[in-house]
Amino acid sequence: MCGIVGYIGDKSASSVLMEGLAKLEYRGYDSAGIALLESGKIEVERSVGKLINLREKLSDKKYSANVGIGHTRWATHGKPSFDNAHPHSSEGLTIVHNGIIENYIELKTMLKEKGFTFVSETDTEVVAHLIKSNFDGDLKSAVQKTVQHVIGSYGLAVLSEANPNEIIIARKDSPLVIGIGEGEMFAASDIPAVLSHTRKFIFMEDGDITVLRKDGYTITGIDGQPVDREVKLIDWNPVMAEKAGYSHFMQKEIYEQPRAIIDTIRGRYSLEDSRVNFADFEKIQSVVKDFSRVVIVACGTSWHAGLIAKFYIEKFAKIPVEVDIASEFRYRNLVIDEKTLFVAITQSGETADTLSALRIAKEHGAKVISVCNVVGSSISRESDSVIYTHAGPEIGVASTKAFTTQVISLFLFAIYLGQERGTMSSDEAGRYLGEVLKLPEVIEKVLEQDDNILKLAKQFKDASDFLYLGRNVNYPIALEGALKLKEISYIHAEGYPAGEMKHGPIALIDKDLPIFILCPKSSVYEKVASNVEEAKTRDGIIIAVVTEGDEGLKGICDHIIEIPDIIEELSVFPTVVVTQIFSYHVAHLLGLDVDQPRNLAKSVTVE
C-alpha cells in the first residue's frame, strides 16, 4: 500500500504534493519522492525513509513547477532504497504506482530484449518502460495500451515532457480519486491528501483511465470509450479525513481486511493448474521434500497465527509442526537441525525475541522462512525466503489486518507444502483455493453486522472479566479474541480450548461472566455445543458465534452472532473479525485510546 498524489494547476506543485504526501504517510513510509515538470523538463527528487528526509532535501531548492506527481512507498517488490523509491522514469516520462504487477518478470524480459535498462528492483519501473515503448506522442493511448498488457493491481499517475499540460492516471484494484478544483485538478490514492484544496471528488473505478488537465478531466474505460462518473461532495472534518472517515485506525484496518486479503493472495495461486507459487522460494523449493518437521516461532497475535498454521500444515502436508513463543524458544535445549523448517511469523519483522530465535535456528542449520509485512525489515533480511503479507502499514497497535493476512499466507503456504511433498492432490488444492476466493465477501458480511456487535459491546462494556472458548482452529481465535480485548479495553479476558474448561476455568463461571463461544459449523460442532451447555448450566452469559441458519444453539445461548457459511479451516476469518469489532467497540465506548493502548508498542524491539 503506497500513497499517490498528483497536481496540475497554478499553485506550487511541490507544496501541494508534499502537503498531500504528509496526509498519506500512513499508507507507506519507507521512501518518498516527487516529480515536477520544471520549465518543460522532468525533475525527480527522492529520498529513503520518512517524508521528513525528502522535505529536508527540498528545503534549499526553488521549484516553480505547477504540475507534478508524488509518492510515499510501502515496499512490495525490492527493498526500501533510493533506487527503488518512486517516481520511476523512462526517458522523458515518469510514473508513480500503488499496487502489484504480477507479470512484471515476463514484461521485464521483453523490455530488456527491446533494449531498456533497469535501475531498480521494482515492478513499477517495468510499467514506466512499457508506457515509453508504447508512446507515439499520445500519452493517454500509451497508458491505455500499457494497462491492457499488465496483470495485477495499479493506481498509476504518469507525467511526460512531451505532454506538459496533462497528467494521466489509471486504476485497477487500487484506490484512486480525482479532486476537482477551480482551474486546478488533483489525483490522490486517498481523499485526505487533497481535502484542504477541494471537497469535490470522483472515485475512479477499475479500468478507468483519466486525463487531468488544469481546466478539467476526461475519463475513459480501458477500451478507450468515454465513461461518466458521479462527482461526490465530501464533508469530512480533518480528523475524520486522516482515518478515511473511520473513528480510529484500528477500525479502518478492520474494514480493510477484505481488500488486504485480496492483495495477499494476488499472483500466488493459479486456478488453472490449482497451484500455489511464491516468489523468492528457490532456497526452499530445492529442499522442501527433505524437512522432517516444521517449527513455527512468533509472539503475541503472530503466535496465534502460528497456532492456526499448525492445523493447516499438518493436515495438508502431513509434517509434524511445533509452535513456540519466541521468548520461550530461545532458552531451551533445542533439538533442531538441517531437516527442520523454521518459520518466523512477525508483522513488523523487528520483534527482538523472534529475531533472536531465528538466529539460533540458523546456527543449528535450519532453513528459515518468515511471514512478514515489512519489506527490508531485520527478520525478512535474515530469512532464506520471505512470504510478504502485503497488508500495507498497520498503524493501530492492536493487530487486525496483519493477523488475517498472516493466516491466509500460511494457508497458501500449507497448500504449497502439501503439493510439493505430494500429500495434496490438485483437485483438493483447487477446492481449497476456490474457498479462499470466498473470503473477502464472507468478511464483508461480518462487517455488515457491526451494529449488532456494537449493541453487545454496549451491554457488556462494564464486565470485569471475559472468557473466550473455541476448539480446533478456533481455539487460537479464542486466544486472539481475549488478547484483543485485554490490549485495548484493559478488561481481563482468558482464552481457552473449550474442552479444557472443565479442567479449571469452569470454576470462574457465574451469572456475571460473559463467555464468547466460537461455534461455527465444524467437525467439533457437537463437542463445542456440549461445552455451551456446561457453561449455561453454571449460569454463564453465553455469546455464541455460529454459522448462519444454525438453529441448534438458539434456545440455549443469551446472544447469537451469525457468520456466513465457510469451510471449517477458514472459519477463523469471520470469527476473528467478530472479536475484533467487539473489542474495538468496547474500548471506544470506554473512552480509551484505541490506537495506542497504554504500555504497548507497535514493534517490540527489546527482549
Give the interface with ligand AGP as residue ranges (CB under 6 A).
Answer: 299-302, 346-348, 351, 354, 397-399, 487, 600, 603-604
CB atoms closer than 10 angstroms to residue 163: 20
Nearest CA among 277, 398, 299 for reference residue 349: 299
User: Considering beta carbons, is residue 324 or 435 the nearer one to ligand AGP?
Assistant: 324
- The distance of closest approach from Cβ of residue 348 to ligand AGP in the complex, given in angstroms and rounded to an integer, is 3
CA atoms of 340 and 133, how far apart (whole Å): 47
What is the closest distance, in whole angstroms, from the C-beta atom of residue 590 to ligand AGP in the complex? 18
Q: Which residue is nearest to ligand AGP (CB)?
A: 300
Give yes or no for a contact between 40 and 93, defined as CB atoms under 8 angstroms apart: no
Long-range contact set of residues 544-550: C-beta below 8 Å, sequence gap at least 24 = 544/517, 544/519, 545/516, 545/517, 545/518, 545/519, 545/520, 545/574, 545/575, 545/578, 546/519, 546/520, 546/521, 547/520, 547/521, 547/571, 550/519, 550/521
Rounded Cα distance, 456 and 255, in Å: 19
Please count the other Cβ atoms lying within 10 Å of the Cβ belonging to residue 561. 23
Q: Among this protein's residues, is 2 annotated catalytic?
A: yes
Of 189 and 251, CB closest to ligand AGP:
251
Q: What is the dihedral of CA 142, 144, 145, 148, to 10 degrees?
A: 150
Q: If 0-12 CB within 10 Å is exposed, 13-18 middle and 19+ buried, where does residue 523 land?
A: exposed
Running DSSP on this structure, what letter comes out for residue 369? Answer: E
Question: All 3 cell numbers of residue 377?
Answer: 525489515
Nearer to ligand AGP, 98 or 389 (CB): 389
Report angle CA 246, 455, 569 to the nearest 5 degrees.
Answer: 80
Q: Which is nearer to ligand AGP, 8 or 398 (CB)?
A: 398
Q: How far is the CB of 407 from ligand AGP (least distance, A)?
A: 12
Comparison of 94 and 405: residue with beta carbon closer to ligand AGP: 405
Catalytic residue among 2, 299, 372, 557: 2
Q: Shortest gap between Cβ of 26 and ligand AGP (angstroms)? A: 17
What are 498's three cell numbers? Answer: 473449550
Residue 117, C-alpha cell as written in the block = 535498462
Closer of 46 and 252 to ligand AGP (Cβ): 252
Please state at what angle helix 450-460 crosses helix 572-589, rounded to 10 degrees.
Answer: 50
- Does residue 448 contact residue 578 with C-beta atoms inside 8 Å? no
Minimum distance from residue 568 beta carbon to ligand AGP (Å): 24
In the set 145, 214, 461, 602, the catalytic residue is: 602
Shortest distance, CB of residue 601 to ligand AGP, whole angstroms?
8
Q: Which is nearer to ligand AGP, 396 or 430 (CB)?
A: 396
Cell of 557: 445461548
Number of CB atoms found within 10 A of residue 69's CB? 30
Sheet holding 232-233: strands in order across?
41-48, 31-38, 67-73, 3-8, 185-188, 177-180, 200-203, 232-233
CA distance 54 to 190: 20
Instruction: For the CB of residue 361, give the shortest distance to ligand AGP in the complex, in Å.
Output: 15
Question: 488537465: which residue's cell?
Answer: 213
Dihedral sign, Cα of residue 308, residue 311, residue 317, residue 319: positive
Q: Which three cell numbers stand for residue 4?
A: 499517490
Instruction: Please identify, using beta-carbon distances, which residue of 120 and 346 lies nearer to ligand AGP.
Output: 346
Nearest-approach distance from CB 2 to ligand AGP, in angstroms: 21
Q: Which is nearer to ligand AGP, 477 or 513 (CB)?
A: 477
3-state DSSP: the chain helix, strand, coil percent, rounded to 5? 40, 25, 40
Give the active site residues.
Answer: 2, 602
